[in-house]
């Protein structure tokens, strides 16, 4: 009698040359495929609005001397960032809505995830600086102009982008050499590092933990504590103001930034600060769509319509009544 182990030897996977995935399929929302034309037109309108609104805000701030202050400088930077941020994902989403295969090359997928993370981290740091700027303006008004100078603003923004593009390099360096031997389907509408890790033909617990730690470091260690400190101090100072008009103006000044912070950090925390892949793929895709599309959609609306100075300048330049 022949030993079963001879007929069926234990399977041993050799990962030395098993990275044979050359294309990634972005599954997206397969059950909405029959509405692809409607979704394409809706997403196209959202994309055009995001681009146009951010260009208008950036243009108005640059052209209007009365808007040349540190907070508006950061808003203009954020508008410029949002144009590139949405252009990383939405054009590919639009193409996939009209394409049954929905494929992207493996290097292209890594690149999309890297740029998305880099711009996301940069935005995280810029929002943090904007919160600290509001703290200085309200809590230390006499020292504000000497602390937040034009040169300091430029240095801070450059530092945000340098840090934003350096930190995700860790993920690229760790994930790129991993063996990917199939399957090649990602349950998402764009490429991201965590879904890519789920395709690797090896144990990815260490890499998932690194992903978690980077998200934790970016969102909870560096940014949120400074934002919370800024707004705790801001609220404390505002509540001590005797003038109701002063309190209303201070709350209005900080309200737009706080709304953007809640939208951005709320969705980003769910997407990136996770130690494992969620089993609720539809919910993950929806949150990812919120993070990549609807949060950038809200930003120009909040800053353009709630900021009275910017709103009046926009009305002046585009001849609104």
Instruction: Give Cβ neighbours of residue 301 (< 8 Å, ≥ 6 apart).
Output: 53
- Residue 24 tokens, joined: 């990634």
Per-residue pLDDT, 16: 39
What's the CATH number where 224 sits? 1.20.1070.10
E strands in the chain: 23-26, 103-105, 185-186
- Cα(100)–Cα(26) distance, integer angstroms: 10
> Cβ contacts of residue 83 below 8 Å, gap of 6+?
50, 51, 54, 55
Kindly state whether residue 17 falls inside one of the protein's structural domains. Answer: no
Using CB atoms within 10 A of its CB, is residue 258 exposed (0-12), middle (13-18) or buried (19+)? middle
Q: How far is CA 101 from the centre of its chain?
A: 26
Q: Is residue 225 part of a domain?
A: yes
Domain presence at residue 7: no
Whether 279 and 23 have beta carbons less than 8 Å apart is answered as no
pLDDT at 240: 82
Structure confidence at residue 110 (pLDDT): 94
Who contacts 111 (Cβ-Cβ below 8 Å, separation ≥6)? none
The β-bridge relationship of strands 103-105 and 23-26 is: antiparallel
Between CA 142 and CA 153 the distance in angstroms is 18
Alpha carbon separation from 184 to 30, 174, 190 (Å, rounded): 16, 19, 13
Q: Is residue 2 part of a domain?
A: no
User: Does residue 207 lie in a domain region?
Assistant: yes
Q: Confirm whether 115 is domain-assigned.
A: yes
> Do the beta carbons of residue 190 and residue 26 sit within 8 Å?
yes
- Residue 131 sits in which domain range? 22-317
Query: What are residue 120's DSSP bridge partners?
Result: none
DSSP assignment of 232-298 equals: HHHHHHHHH-S-HHHHHHHHHHHHHHHHHHHHHHHHHHHHHS-SS--S-HHHHHHHHHIIIIIHHHH
Whether residue 5 is contained in a domain is answered as no
Query: What residue has token string 């929806």?
Result: 286
What local confidence, expressed as pLDDT, does residue 311 receive? 80
Between CA 121 and CA 14 the distance in angstroms is: 36
Q: What is the pLDDT of residue 7?
A: 44
Q: How far from the centroid of its chain's Cα atoms is residue 133's Cα?
A: 21
pLDDT values of the chain reduced to their tens digit, one per residue, 321 residues: 444 444 444 434 343 334 577 889 998 777 777 888 999 999 999 999 999 999 999 999 998 888 899 989 999 999 999 999 999 999 999 999 888 888 999 999 999 999 999 999 999 999 999 999 989 988 898 999 999 999 999 999 999 999 999 999 999 999 988 888 878 888 888 998 888 888 888 888 888 888 888 888 887 777 888 988 988 888 888 888 877 777 777 777 777 778 888 888 877 777 665 544 555 566 667 777 887 888 888 888 887 766 777 888 887 777 654
Residue 254 has what pLDDT? 78
d(CA 141, CA 70): 13
Q: What is the rounded CA–CA span in Å between residue 209 and residue 214? A: 9
How many structural domains does the chain have?
A: 1
Any idea what the Cα angle at residue 242 is, between residues 240 and 246, rounded to 5°?
A: 95
* Partners of 104 in the β-ladder: 24
**Residue 15, in any domain of the structure:** no
218 token code pair: 């970016």
């Amino acid at each position: 009698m022949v030993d079963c182990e001879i007929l069926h030897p234990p399977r041993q996977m050799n990962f030395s040359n098993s990275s044979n995935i050359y294309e990634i399929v972005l599954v997206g929302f397969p059950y909405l495929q029959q509405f692809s034309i409607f979704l394409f037109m809706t997403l196209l309108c959202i994309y055009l609005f995001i681009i146009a609104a951010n260009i208008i805000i950036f243009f108005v701030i640059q052209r209007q001397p009365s808007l040349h202050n540190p907070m508006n400088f950061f808003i203009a930077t954020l508008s410029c960032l949002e144009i590139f941020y949405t252009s990383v994902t939405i054009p590919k989403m639009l193409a996939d809505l009209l394409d049954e295969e929905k494929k992207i090359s493996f290097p292209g997928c890594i690149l999309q995830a890297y740029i998305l993370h880099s711009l996301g981290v940069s935005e995280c740091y810029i929002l943090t600086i904007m919160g600290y700027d509001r703290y200085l303006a309200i809590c230390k008004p006499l020292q504000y102009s000497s602390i937040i100078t034009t040169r300091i603003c430029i240095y801070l923004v450059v530092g945000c982008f340098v840090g934003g593009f350096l930190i995700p390099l860790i993920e690229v360096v760790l994930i790129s050499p991993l063996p990917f031997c199939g399957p090649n389907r990602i349950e998402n509408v764009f490429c991201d590092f965590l879904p890519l890790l789920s395709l690797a033909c090896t144990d990815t617990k260490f890499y998932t933990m690194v992903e978690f730690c980077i998200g934790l470091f970016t969102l909870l260690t560096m940014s949120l504590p400074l934002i919370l400190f800024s707004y705790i101090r801001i609220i404390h100072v505002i509540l001590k103001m005797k003038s109701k008009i002063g309190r209303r103006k201070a709350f209005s000044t900080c309200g737009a930034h706080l709304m953007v912070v809640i939208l951005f950090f709320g969705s980003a925390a769910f997407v990136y600060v996770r130690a494992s892949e969620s089993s609720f793929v539809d919910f993950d895709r929806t949150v990812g769509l919120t993070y990549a599309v609807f949060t950038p959609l809200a930003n120009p609306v909040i800053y353009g319509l709630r900021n009275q100075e910017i709103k009046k300048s926009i009305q002046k330049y585009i001849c609104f009544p």
